A and B are shown apart, each in its own frame.
Chain A
Amino acid sequence: MYNLIGAGLIVIGAGIGLGQIGGKAMEGIARQPEATGKIQTAMIIIAALLEGLAFGALFLGK
């Protein structure tokens, strides 16, 4: 029961984080379309790290 609540909290946190990353990346691309490639690469890396963290927490709690 508690681990399910924990999982929900993790997913909420990860969701907020991913939204921030995606949104800021979009803003960045809109501001500087010529830097799209670099922004995307950095975005994917940071998203992957966040995702790894979230999954780690999920599995630790499971």
Chain B
Amino acid sequence: MYYVKNDYFCAKFLKLKIFDIEIMREVLNSAKNGMLLVFLCLSAQVFAWSDTQDEGAVSTEEEIKEYIDHHVKDAHDFHLFSYTNDAGERVHVGFPLPVILWSSEGLVTFMSSAFHHDDAGEVIVERKGARFVKVHSKIYELEAGATQVDLDAKDHPTNAHKVLDFSITKSVVGILLVGLFMLWAFSSLARQYKNKSVPTGFGRVLEPLVLYVRDEIAKPNIGEKKYRQFTGYLLTVFFFIWILNLLGLTPFGFNVTGQLAVTAALAVVTLVIYTVSGNKDYWMHMLWMPGVPVLIRPVLAVIELAGAFLIKPFSLLVRLFANISAGHIVVMSLIAIMFTLQDSLGAVGATGLSLVLSFFITLIEVLVAFLQAYIFTMLSALFIGMAVAEHDHEHHHDTEGHKVPDAEDVRGDFI
């Protein structure tokens, strides 16, 4: 529906430039990403807008901080690059994305181009009688009677409230792209097994990764007997996080796994899985711990419940979010050395320092991208394993008759 509207808005609000469309075409051709192309055809024409009140190139410390803050947040349009044209205007190249809001007036949809790249609440978009502003990548609905958004000291609007924002934001685009990529890659791998026992081509790269997740993460943590039903989830989460982490290191500027909502959704799914699949032993150990004095048991139950329902998911979601966000901030700050130290080190020195530092940090980030995916999957598997572990199993006894602890016994010590 909003696709139809989109043309109208584009015509109304955008100064389309043939030149910029050609640039975009080149970018797209070189990217050769069929899915991106399909998405583009659906969503909108490429747009370029020029900012009259824009501050120009990012160079001062304040601007860099703001730029980084802005990047780390989600965006409602897909911004690729900016340049200053011959007329001295700042031109941004990218394309708008659909905005879907659940406001006081019901479902409202329009293209993000309606905000005209405004992020300070200056452009008011009116749809179905409700008025919306965008402040720091968040869309607010103005209260009745307000004609202009008022911001407090922390830049939070005082006369507007948040709306439920189901927009196809940049993060959602990233999620969709990665989802489609995974579906394509792994279903083609699955199809390969029909004809041959050893996959060829790209499947040969994917197969060891699948085996790695199954043999190094699922099997040892969940146990030989029950790992099968959880491997699907673990594989999905592992590849989802890893590919999105890596996508975040590309110049497209995705920061999907650095969005709290995304990591929270992942952690909540893990929470639901280990809560639903928890067996009698698990609940017994949580609510009425055997083997300790009765008086301590309620205290332990509170701690265990808090651990299972708050601390575990919170640590999962915050770890991933913080690592990826911190990585992005560090890389961008190091790139910004190019401008901030230009005065003291000279153009060549600052650029060289920035290049060397950001190169090595990016290498570390590639490692972190894998490590965080691994840790998230690993801890999910561990939590699931704890929930489905059998405690009344046969123990091995050594020659003196002492219990020899096995993997099931010591697993709890790690948590």
Q: Do A and B come from one complex?
A: yes
B residues within 8 A CB of A59?
318, 322
In the bound complex, CA of A53 to CA of B412 (Å) = 18
Which B residues, 218 to 232, have Cβ-Cβ distances below 8 Å to chain A? Answer: 220
Interface string of B213-246 (1 = CB under 8 A from A): 0000000100000000000000000000000000
Which B residues, 399 to 415, have Cβ-Cβ distances below 8 Å to chain A? Answer: 414-415
Residue contact A52 to B315, C-beta cutoff 8 Å: yes
B314 in the interface (beta carbon within 8 A): yes
Which B residues, 297 to 353, have Cβ-Cβ distances below 8 Å to chain A? Answer: 314-316, 318-319, 322-323
**A52 contact from B220, B316, B414, Cβ within 8 A:** B316
Bin chain A's interface residue count: 10 to 19
In the bound complex, CA of A52 to CA of B318 (Å) = 7
| A interface majority secondary structure | helix
In the bound complex, CA of A21 to CA of B414 (Å) = 13
In the bound complex, CA of A55 to CA of B324 (Å) = 12
In the bound complex, CA of A44 to CA of B217 (Å) = 13
| B interface majority secondary structure | helix
B160 in the interface (beta carbon within 8 A): no
**B375 contact from A44, A53, A56, Cβ within 8 A:** A44
A residues within 8 A CB of B64?
none
Interface string of A24-62 (1 = CB under 8 A from B): 000000000000000001101110110111011011000
Residue contact B314 to A56, C-beta cutoff 8 Å: yes
The residue in chain B whose Cβ has the minimal distance to the Cβ of A58 is B322
**A44 contact from B314, B316, B318, B378, Cβ within 8 A:** B378
Q: With A58-B322, A59-B322 in contact, do A45 and B382 touch (Cβ < 8 Å)?
A: yes
The minimal Cβ–Cβ distance linking B279 to chain A, given in whole angstroms, is: 22
Residue contact B382 to A48, C-beta cutoff 8 Å: no
B residues within 8 A CB of A55?
318-319, 322-323
- List the 9 shortest-distance A-B pairs measured between CB atoms, nearest first: A52-B315, A55-B322, A52-B319, A48-B375, A55-B318, A56-B318, A45-B414, A55-B319, A51-B319
B residues engaging A (CB < 8 A)? 220, 314-316, 318-319, 322-323, 371, 374-375, 378-379, 382, 414-415
A residues engaging B (CB < 8 A)? 41-42, 44-46, 48-49, 51-53, 55-56, 58-59
